[in-house]
Amino acid sequence: MKDKTFLMIPGPTPVPESVMLEIAKHPIGHRSTEFSAILENVYKNLKYVFRTENDVFVYTASGTGAMCAALENLINEGDNVLCLSLGNFGNRWAKIAESRGAVVEKIEVESGQVIDPEVLRKRLAEDTEKKIKIVTLTHSETSTGAANYVKTLCSIIREHGAISVVDGVTSVCAMECKPDEWGIDVLISGSQKGFMIPPGLSFLVANERAWKVYEQCKHPSFYWDWAAYRKSTRANSTPFTPAVNLFVGLNKALEMIKEDGIENMNERHRRHAMALRHAVKAINLELVVKDDKNASHSITSIYPPEGISVPDIRSTLKNDFDIVVANGQNKLKDKIFRMGTLGFVSDRDIITAVGALEATMKKLGHKFEVGKGVKTVIEELNQ
Amino acid sequence: MKDKTFLMIPGPTPVPESVMLEIAKHPIGHRSTEFSAILENVYKNLKYVFRTENDVFVYTASGTGAMCAALENLINEGDNVLCLSLGNFGNRWAKIAESRGAVVEKIEVESGQVIDPEVLRKRLAEDTEKKIKIVTLTHSETSTGAANYVKTLCSIIREHGAISVVDGVTSVCAMECKPDEWGIDVLISGSQKGFMIPPGLSFLVANERAWKVYEQCKHPSFYWDWAAYRKSTRANSTPFTPAVNLFVGLNKALEMIKEDGIENMNERHRRHAMALRHAVKAINLELVVKDDKNASHSITSIYPPEGISVPDIRSTLKNDFDIVVANGQNKLKDKIFRMGTLGFVSDRDIITAVGALEATMKKLGHKFEVGKGVKTVIEELNQ
């Protein structure tokens, strides 16, 4: 039987049945009063989930679209942009900044590491002429599973007078992320992650400091233009034809998140990620992110043991247990595998995943005490 | 009973049940072999529908996104762009070009009119220094229902040595549109139109002449970058996370279009649009586009008779018959109403629509011979 796939990749993530049933409805007119009422509810609930008083814009585009929507409304040719990179998605900020003609400088760390706030503080202190206008960073780096100290980093950036632009694609919903309270100037995220709907929508919230920089931007990109989105969002509309079905699904998913409570959702992700991490260690596998406090609560990256390949682990999990986990990206391809515990994931799913991982590793000849992973999960989840 | 809505707006258009059932499936991983096989089929069938040998790129974005994907890969600051505008969407090309710092000139016509090829020829002849690099135009202008002589206009543009960029949002599938044969350099379209799926995807095809201009573009926009899309498309992949569910629906819809045959689909749209136009005249209503040969085959715009308002016509059609038609846009708001006959529309739907329109106009006190509209449709469709 082949129709029982369980996605444990960092996205798309599992979608609740009730959300899929909403998406399955025939599209309605996007300029109708019915759809406007849906948008009103969506925009209101997004402010709750993003913990912000600012408007949250919804783009019909994937997460990278929202990354472009951040930088393409801020950068002029020749601007200095500092990109703090933990991996593939940190590097994407740099590529987008370069595509706009910015002068880009990167602070990079090894896979699994995070940015040391003191390194950032030192670099910015050297920028005595205050040339650095924008600093980009990643909350949860999807390619490694490392998570930055966003609150600290953003406060250092603010002290310097630059704008912080944060990728929250796999953190919003999963990890505590408070743009207003923490002083994140621009925050983006994507739908197929913690939001529990399929890919195709992405989100952006900008504060007044970011708007001041926007006002100096010579050529904001038409499709992403903040001014158009602010005007439409405040009128419970969209500037261009939205992905109607995904919005209807989002409306349902946001209601579920609100009912659950965003703090509870954050805490559940933390418990799941920690239980998975500790189970992985209990079965003698090595984590890419060594320290719990540097770990994403939505993605866990794991090294295969000596002599067992990532493709074998992935295909055994897929063929024997219908569980899909992700390979590493770029230079990490076949070097690590990544398990997502993001969005619509229950305690049962973590037990299932660890049980299947144990069975897989046993089959492939890995040496460990079978059952110890699941035991760890059960004990941790019962805490 | 309120759950029987029939959309006759220019998009979203009706979606076949079998396509909705595909979209309703839980998302699969976008880097899986299963999804790659779907993409292979989608990309192959898009070439058939677009009647091109060039790659057709699919963007996770609405139609305006594909418009940006056209101009943001071609324009450098200071470039001269000539925009041929029939209305709102023709003007959108101009706005996007301006947002990139182009020097924009517009040739505009009254609502319902089309561009006279001789006017274009004359203007280009004056451009003796060949400053005009790009000419934008609209095939079927969604805001008025007028349709340009794209083949003729594009051959004039090519003679001059400029690049033609064509909005085929409401023409591809509905009207004959042959980019390779006609020399359209860049053609874009959107999913919620003739493609019979919900909004959220859009399409772009560019030829070698356009690629030469792309190569001179200093700052192609990252999310729309043609080089990234060409590389991924040829590898049956996507550069960024695609709207998986919409792609799965598109795969099904393209199979239906192929089975129908693109010529048959074009011809059906022509028959429907002409039958509707002639029925509208038969019940003493005035068309915005006077001449059949200037009419879009997907949108028909109609003036309300003296003393009867557009909102009354729209709300009566909605409340009494669950048929949604569109208002005019911008300066045409409440001045015209627009009926879409685009995508998944059958002969029966045209009879239904005209019957309901007759009942509505009778109720609102319009003077005409009741039944003459439906008679016209039946006679024309039986031709």
Give the model confidence (pLDDT) of A366-383 as tens digits. 999 999 999 999 999 987
User: Which residue pairs from A83-86 have beta carbons closer than 8 angstroms and sit at least 24 positions apart in sequence?
Assistant: A83/A107, A83/A135, A83/A136, A83/A137, A84/A115, A84/A120, A84/A135, A84/A136, A84/A137, A84/A138, A84/A148, A84/A153, A85/A109, A85/A138, A86/A111, A86/A113, A86/A114, A86/A115, A86/A138, A86/A141, A86/A143, A86/A144, A86/A146, A86/A148
Record the tokens describing residue B106, joined without a space.
């517009």
B223 and B289 together in one domain: no
Put simply, whether A297 touches B (Cβ < 8 Å) is no
Put simply, whether A192 touches B (Cβ < 8 Å) is yes
Record the tokens describing residue B241, joined without a space.
């996370």
A248 and A322 together in one domain: no
- Asked if A62's CB is within 8 angstroms of B62's CB, the reply is no
Name residues whose C-beta falls within 8 Å of residue A97's C-beta, 6 or more positions apart in sequence: A71, A75, A81, A83, A104, A134, A136
| A4: confidence class by pLDDT, cuts 50, 70, 90 | confident
- Chain B CB contacts of A222 under 8 Å are 64, 67-68, 95-96, 99
Q: How many other C-beta atoms can be found within 10 angstroms of the C-beta atom of residue B160?
A: 18
pLDDT of B369 reads 98
Instruction: Tell me the pLDDT tens digit for each residue of A125-175.
Output: 999 999 999 999 999 999 999 999 999 999 999 999 999 999 999 999 999
3-class DSSP string for chain A: CCCCCEECCCCCCCCCHHHHHHHCCCCCCCCCHHHHHHHHHHHHHHHHHCCCCCCEEEEECCHHHHHHHHHCCCCCCCCEEEEEECCHHHHHHHHHHHHCCCEEEEEECCCCCCCCHHHHHHHHHHCCCCCEEEEEEECEECCCCEECCHHHHHHHHHHHCCEEEEECCCCCCCCCCCHHHHCCCEEEEECCCCCCCCCCEEEEEECHHHHHHHCCCCCCCHHHCHHHHHHHHHCCCCCCCCCHHHHHHHHHHHHHHHHHCHHHHHHHHHHHHHHHHHHHHHCCCEECCCCHHHECCCEEEEECCCCCCHHHHHHHHHHHHCEECEECCHHHCCCCEEEECCCCCCHHHHHHHHHHHHHHHHHCCCCCCCCHHHHHHHHHHCC
Residue A126 lies in domain: 17-259
- Chain A CB contacts of B29 under 8 Å are 7, 9, 12, 324, 326
Query: Does residue B335 belong to any structural domain of this protein?
Result: yes
- Asked if A9's CB is within 8 angstroms of B199's CB, the reply is no
Gap from B159 CA to chain A (nearest CA, Å): 30
Put simply, whether A333 touches B (Cβ < 8 Å) is no
Report the number of distinct structural domains present in chain B: 2
Q: Compare CB distances from A240 to B7, B64, B100 and report the shortest one's residue.
A: B64
A91 and A142 together in one domain: yes
Residue B166 sits in a domain whose CATH number is 3.40.640.10
Give the 3-state secondary structure of residue B168. coil
- B185 has pLDDT over 80: yes
Nearest CA in chain B to A190: B241
- Asked if B244's CB is within 8 angstroms of A32's CB, the reply is no
Q: Compare CB distances from B61 to A31, A60, A101 and report the shortest one's residue.
A: A60
Instruction: Tell me the pLDDT tens digit for each residue of B13-32.
Output: 999 999 999 999 999 999 99
pLDDT of B349 reads 96
Element holding A131 (H helix, E strand): none
A336 and A204 together in one domain: no
Q: How many other C-beta atoms can be found within 10 angstroms of the C-beta atom of residue B99?
A: 20
Query: Does residue A148 belong to any structural domain of this protein?
Result: yes
- B126 has pLDDT over 80: yes
- A2 has pLDDT over 80: no
A106 and A32 together in one domain: yes
Which among B2, B241, B246, B310 is the top mutation candidate for probing chain A, defined by the most A β-carbons within 10 Å of its own β-carbon? B241
Residue B270 sits in a domain whose CATH number is 3.90.1150.10
Residue B255 exposure: Cα atoms within 13 Å on the Cβ side: 14
Instruction: Tell me the pLDDT tens digit for each residue of A277-336.
Output: 999 999 999 999 999 999 999 999 999 999 999 999 999 999 999 999 999 999 999 999
Domain boundary among B212, B237, B259: B259
Phi, psi (rounded to 5 degrees) for B162? -90, 175
Query: Does residue B346 belong to any structural domain of this protein?
Result: yes
- Nearest CA-CA partner of B177 in B148, B134, B143, B145: B148
Using CB atoms and an 8 Å cut-off, which of residues 80-139 of chain A contact chain B? 95-96, 99-101
Query: Does residue B1 belong to any structural domain of this protein?
Result: no
Put simply, whether B9 touches A (Cβ < 8 Å) is yes
pLDDT of B4 reads 87
Instruction: Tell me the pLDDT tens digit for each residue of B62-71.
Output: 999 999 999 9
Query: Does residue A1 belong to any structural domain of this protein?
Result: no
Domain boundary among B217, B235, B259: B259
Domain boundary among A239, A259, A279: A259
Query: Does residue A348 belong to any structural domain of this protein?
Result: yes
B275 and B246 together in one domain: no
Query: Does residue B292 belong to any structural domain of this protein?
Result: yes
Using CB atoms and an 8 Å cut-off, which of residues 15-54 of chain A contact chain B? 15, 20-21, 23-32
Q: Compare CB distances from A63 to B11, B31, B241 and report the shortest one's residue.
A: B241
Which among A15, A17, A19, A26 is the top mutation candidate for probing chain B, defined by the most B β-carbons within 10 Å of its own β-carbon? A26
Nearest CA in chain A to B23: A24
Residues A106 and A117: beta-carbon distance below 8 Å = no
A345 and A311 together in one domain: yes
pLDDT of B3 reads 79
A77 and A98 together in one domain: yes
B248 and B266 together in one domain: no
Task: Please give the average per-residue pLDDT across A48-67, as a whole number.
Answer: 98
pLDDT of A382 reads 85
Give the 3-state secondary structure of residue A10. coil
- Chain A CB contacts of B240 under 8 Å are 62-65
- Asked if A326's CB is within 8 angstroms of B27's CB, the reply is no
Record the tokens describing residue A230, joined without a space.
């602010």
Gap from A38 CA to chain B (nearest CA, Å): 16
pLDDT of B382 reads 85
A225 and A290 together in one domain: no
DSSP B126: H
Which among A59, A169, A222 is the top mutation candidate for probing chain B, defined by the most B β-carbons within 10 Å of its own β-carbon? A222
Which among B22, B192, B222 is the top mutation candidate for probing chain A, defined by the most A β-carbons within 10 Å of its own β-carbon? B222
- Asked if B20's CB is within 8 angstroms of A12's CB, the reply is no
Mean predicted lDDT score pLDDT of chain B: 97
Q: Compare CB distances from A244 to B5, B67, B199 and report the shortest one's residue.
A: B199
Put simply, whether B244 touches A (Cβ < 8 Å) is yes
B105 and B124 together in one domain: yes
A240 and A272 together in one domain: no
**Do the interacting molecules here have an ipTM over 0.85?**
yes
- Asked if A190's CB is within 8 angstroms of B245's CB, the reply is no
Which among B76, B223, B310 is the top mutation candidate for probing chain A, defined by the most A β-carbons within 10 Å of its own β-carbon? B223
Put simply, whether A14 touches B (Cβ < 8 Å) is yes
Gap from A82 CA to chain B (nearest CA, Å): 18
Put simply, whether B314 touches A (Cβ < 8 Å) is no
pLDDT of B2 reads 74
Element holding B382 (H helix, E strand): none
d(CA B235, CA B227): 13
- B94 has pLDDT over 90: yes
Tell me how many residue pairs between chain A and chain B have CB atoms under 8 A apart.
Answer: 180
d(CA B215, CA B213): 5
